[in-house]
Amino acid sequence: MNSSLPRKVILIAGASRGAGPDTARQLAQQGHHVVLGARRSHRLQGLVNEIRKAGGSAEWYALDVNQPVEMQAFLAFAEDVHKRVDVVIHN
């Protein structure tokens, strides 16, 4: 990551499939912290482990992206842990 760019806290909802995993890997490789959300927690756990093993920073949160209450809880989780959310990607 370019050291002149600030590290962002980036949430990716729907991160367990489609463009989600590749997006998470790329953003983590660029030095951003990714918080991944989806129903398939086993896939999220594997992806977070992969990102961390490669030196990135990530965590996961189980949620159904179609449920507004769960999306709000996902945002609240990230804000509680990181004190901010810079970007939300709803995949």
In tens, the pLDDT along 9-20 reads 999 999 999 999
Q: What is the pTM of this model?
A: 0.90
Q: Is the pLDDT at 3 greater than 60, yes or no?
A: no
In tens, the pLDDT along 21-80 reads 999 999 999 999 999 999 999 999 999 999 999 999 999 999 999 999 999 999 999 999
- pLDDT-based confidence at residue 1 (cuts at 50, 70, 90): very low
- DSSP code string of 37-83: EES-HHHHHHHHHHHHHTT-EEEEEE--TT-HHHHHHHHHHHHHHHS
